[in-house]
Amino acid sequence: MPATDIAITGLGAISACGNNLQETLQNFSNGKRNGGPVTLFQSNLDYPVFQVNNLPHCTSKIMRSLSLTFAAANQAICNAGLEEGFGNLRVGICLGTTVASQLNDTDFYRQYRESGHAPMGSVDRYLNSNLAQALSKFLNIQTHLCTTIVNACSSGTDAIGVGLSWLRNDYCDLVIAGGADELNRVPLDGFGSLSVVSKSLCAPFDRNRAGLNLGEGSGIIILEKKSVSLKRGRNPELFLKGYGLAADAYHLTAPRPDGSGLEQALIQALNEARIGPGDISFINAHGTATKDNDLVEARVLARVFGPKVKFLSTKGFTGHTLGAAGGLEAVFTCLGLCNGWIPASPGFKDLDPEIGIAPVDQKTQISGKYAVSTSLAFGGNNSALIIAKN
C-alpha cells in the first residue's frame, strides 16, 4: 500500500460543552461543565446528563441524532472551505452511532403493545435517519461509499478509521467521517441497569469515580488526500496518521482485564504512523469514569507510553456520547494539537493508587507533533487514532 498523506481539513463539533468549536474551547478553558437533569424525555432516574441546547435542524420528522449530525457536518464542511460544494471530488460518508440505528421509540412500542397497531410516523423517522444515507441526501452527494458504523462506543473512532482505509485505497478523494448520538431513554435505563452511571458529575480516572454520565452530540471531521486539499488551495496542518482496531474476545460488557486488546490497537496505530510511544505529546483517553474502563485503560496507557504520559478524558465536559464520542474526541484532539494546550481533565481530584497515573489536572501546554485518541466499547472493541500536526 503506497503511503498517502491523509489530511484533516475540517472540524465540526456540537455537544453540551458547546454548539461549535469556539464555545467548546471557551468551556474547555474555563473548565465549565454543563451537566444537569434530563429534560428531553421523562425519566424516573436521577442521573445528571449532558444535553445539547438550541440544536439547529431539529424537527420531529428526523431523529435528534440526525439533527446533531447536520449541525456538526455543516461546521466541518465550512471549516474545510467546502461551502460551495464538492465539485468533481469522489466523496465518501462514514458515520458512527448507536441510538440512530435502533427503533427504540417507547411511544411507538407502547401503542403497538396496547392495541396491536401503531402509527408509522416513528418508523418513517427511523428509516429516514440512517446517518450516512441521510447526510448524503442532505448534502446531495451521490456516492457508492456510504456507511453507518454501529460498533457501540467506538463507532465514531471506527468510522474515521474506515474513512482512512477508503482514502488509502483510493476509493475516494474525501471522506466526511465521525459520529453522532442523541440522549435517549433506552441507553439511560440500560446503562443504569448495569450500575455504571454516576449520580453526580463524572470523575474520570479519579480514585472516587462512581460511573459515567450520558451525553449527546456529534463530532465530524473532513478527511482528504493531501494532494486533493492542495489542489483546492488549502494547506493542511493536521493529518490522520494511523488507526488501530482490535477485539478483546473476552466479555460482552467488561474490558479484558489485561488490556491486551487496547494495547494491540495502540501498537497497530503507532506502527501505521511509523512513530514510537515517545513521540506522543498527549492522549485523549476514552475515560468513561467507570471503575473497570478507567483502571484497564490507564494501566495500558502507562504500560505503552510510560508513567509520565499526559492524558485526559473530555467526558467530564460532554458526558459519554456513545457513538459520537470517537468523533468528538478526534475533533478535541485536533484542537489540542492546533492550539497547543489541553484542558484539565474535568472531575479528577485524587490519584487512584490502583491506577497509579493521573490525568492532567490543569490547563496544560502541549508542544509535540502527535496525539492519540482512544475508544473502548461494549463487546470488547478497542480503537485508536494517531493525529499529527505539521
Partner 1 sequence: MYIAGMGVVFNRGRGLASLENALIQGWVKPNEFAYRVPQETLTDKQVLKEARRADSFTKMATLAAYDALADSNIPQETRAKVGIILATAFGPQVTTFNFLDDILTYGDAGVSPTIFSHSVHNAAASYIALNLQTRGPTLTMTQFADSFRQAVILAESWLSEKRCEYILVGTADQTGKVMEYICSQKLKIAPDGLIKPFNCAKEPEAIPAEGSAFFLMTNHENYNQYCSISALPVDNREKADLYILDSDGMCGSEEGYLRIANSHSPVAAYAPILGSMLTLSSFSCAIGALMLKNGKLYPSPVRDNPHQMNILEANPTLPIHKIDCLRYNCNQEEQLIRLRKEGA
Q: Which of 94, 153, 202, 334 is catalytic?
A: 153
**Structural contact between residues 182 and 33, judged by C-beta atoms closer than 8 angstroms:** no
Grid cell of 159 as nine digits: 468510522
Q: Closer to partner 1 by CB, 341 or 378: give it.
A: 378
Distance CA 377, CA 358 (A): 22
Nearer to partner 1, 88 or 362 (CB): 88
Q: Are strands 238-247 and 381-389 parallel, antiparallel or unpaired?
A: antiparallel
Residue 198 grid cell: 454516576
| Nearest CB to partner 1, comparing residues 113 and 363 | 113
Phi, psi at residue 68, to the nearest 5°?
Answer: -65, -40
Task: In whole angstroms, give the CA distance from residue 305 to residue 309.
Answer: 6
Work out whether strand 91-96 and strand 6-15 pair parallel, antiparallel, or are unpaired. unpaired
Supply the minimum distance, in Å, between the C-beta of residue 329 and partner 1. Answer: 18
**CB 167 → partner 1: shortest distance, Å?**
10
Distances (CA, A) of 101 to 66, 104, 125, 218, 326: 11, 9, 11, 15, 17
Q: Which residues bind partner 1 (CB under 8 A)?
A: 1, 43-45, 98, 101-104, 106, 109-110, 112-113, 116-118, 120, 123, 127, 130, 132-133, 144-152, 158, 162, 165-166, 168-169, 171, 185-186, 188-195, 245-253, 260-261, 264, 377-381
Active-site residue, selected from the candidate residues 17, 94, 146, 286? 286
Cα(30)–Cα(17) distance, rounded to whole angstroms?
A: 11
| Catalytic-residue membership of 153 | yes
Residue 88 beta carbon to partner 1: minimum distance, rounded to whole angstroms: 15
Please say which residue, 54 or 142, places its beta carbon nearer to partner 1: 142
Least gap, CB of 283 to partner 1 (angstroms) = 21
Residues involved in catalysis: 153, 286, 320
